[in-house]
Structure 1
């Protein structure tokens, strides 16, 4: 049987009976071995730029928390915050129009009218619901509110969509992105219920809508702009440091530590870990079907 096996050439087929044992391994088995065939190494600079998305999101959360603390301690006029929110909305919407124009997709007058109408409806709805939101958690202890809001913000960070959105295309939002926005708005609602007057609640909820529902849409569009997005991240991080340092130096140090780890340390760890990447491909992989002489990609 061994002599006969040497005379017959082994074929990699299942439909043909061959004089070889089931565990037979030919000498050519490892000739097609390839290591890291589809692996593209990352560079430190590209990873730092990619981490700016997470850093910007964290900066927005810290700025929002600083605004909440100032409203709760009555060191910030809520009426001034409302005007700042309105001006920032106009500025960011103008920037959105510029990015859309660069993408060769001019917004129609009907779309702009719908945007203005929706903004007015949200403004009036928040104004009407502010008294209800202020007394929403009056029977709940503050410790439970802090813990619940922390969990919701953590969920918002984990489920947020950090991928760039192509200009000129209207893609459907992912389920995780919707859940992330809902978690942030829910955290804002429970925090707003700790404020003392309706104007403060209205101002905080207006900021939360802009920061966690509208700004992520603009952020995903700005990710494709190589200069504007890192500049915006630097400005937001500087604002977060200044606001948190005025409240508590320890919170500012915590933010700087988190920002440094996400932006600088984590990319370096990923670049260092690339040396242990070992993707092996060979003849033992799943067969690729060939249709009309061309192999379909797996």
Structure 2
């Protein structure tokens, strides 16, 4: 009388009448999983995520257009200082409105808010005075360096700024999110590029105006931009893109046209390509993968 062989089980604690390297027929095929963690993208949410890159590129292009006008003396530095101060107060007003609307139900103390405003005012005054005192030094910082080297160094620094910039967003003004190392490096690269470009200007007032505009564009503006909601993000993207093209068109229509193509490609074409490329995603998981513990 033949003894019935029990079915194979995938356990180690039980003695089984099978060799150690035994694999039952169809075991691998039944355990294969294709794209287990795949989450399909949709077009318009990707467009919303890409507008942060568009805003950043438009800001850099506006800054470069302002620098060119300061260099050829077609823009009065006093006008740029006035516009920068006006933008600063408008941005601070928008920040306070967002802070008030998002903290209205939080029960925050008025004393802490007053202390934050005083610290912000002191920091702004210190930065303003520091830029004024350092402007003569910054103007002669690279006097012995050729302009070609300055342009190449500035381009590399701006490229580093674009690659390391933080394109994320925060859900509220009250949410305190620590700055990542890449964000700090990106900001330092932008400010350093602004400093080397400012050394090509002819007057201390122009240097001060450009550095002040740089601090607002690459330090303060990203903090405000990340906390705007979707409708305001779309409106801000449109305003920045139009402003950059208007400033660049009188300088070079070819460059303005190329920049328009870049903005359209990043905002609308790149998300479409990513959605189209999803059908080629093919990630296969099986029992040969390293076990990943799931912790609640």
TM-score (norm. length: structure 2): 0.91
Q: Tell me if the contact between 2:154 and 2:196 (Cα under 8 Å) persists in the aligned partners.
A: yes
2:192 alignment partner in structure 1: 186
Q: 1:211 aligns with which of 212, 217, 220?
A: 217
Unpaired stretches in structure 1, ≥5 consecutive residues? 290-294
Distance 2:168 2:118 in 1: 28
1:227 alignment partner in structure 2: 231
Distance 2:75 2:185 in 1: 30
1:174 alignment partner in structure 2: 180
Q: Tell me if the contact between 2:201 and 2:207 (Cα under 8 Å) persists in the aligned partners.
A: yes
Q: After superposition, what is the alpha-carbon deviation per residue over 1:226-261, rounded to whole angstroms, capped at 9, x for unaligned?
A: 100110000000000000101111210121121111
Change over 3 Å in CA distance of 1:8–1:262 after alignment to 2: same
SS in 1 for 2:29: coil
Unpaired stretches in structure 2, ≥5 consecutive residues? none
Asked if 1:130 corresponds to 2:135, the answer is yes
Q: After superposition, what is the alpha-carbon deviation per residue over 1:92-135, rounded to whole angstroms, capped at 9, x for unaligned?
A: 01111112222226670110111011001000000000000000
Q: Tell me if the contact between 2:47 and 2:271 (Cα under 8 Å) persists in the aligned partners.
A: yes
Q: Tell me if the contact between 1:288 and 1:296 (Cα under 8 Å) persists in the aligned partners.
A: no
Q: After superposition, what is the alpha-carbon deviation per residue over 1:147-176, rounded to whole angstroms, capped at 9, x for unaligned?
A: 000000000000001111231211210000
TM-score (norm. length: structure 1): 0.91
Q: Which moved more, 1:226-235 or 1:30-39?
A: 30-39
Distance 2:133 2:14 in 1: 78
Q: Tell me if the contact between 2:5 and 2:17 (Cα under 8 Å) persists in the aligned partners.
A: no
- Provide the alpha-carbon RMSD of the alignment: 1.9
SS in 2 for 1:260: helix
SS in 2 for 1:13: coil
1:273 alignment partner in structure 2: 277
Paired residues, number: 287
Q: Tell me if the contact between 1:33 and 1:282 (Cα under 8 Å) persists in the aligned partners.
A: yes
1:1-298 equivalent positions in 2, closer than 5 A: 7-26=5-24, 27-104=26-103, 108-167=113-172, 168-222=174-228, 225-287=229-291, 289=293, 296=295
Distance 1:55 1:170 in 2: 25
Distance 2:90 2:292 in 1: 52
Q: Tell me if the contact between 1:161 and 1:176 (Cα under 8 Å) persists in the aligned partners.
A: yes
Change over 3 Å in CA distance of 1:128–1:195 after alignment to 2: same
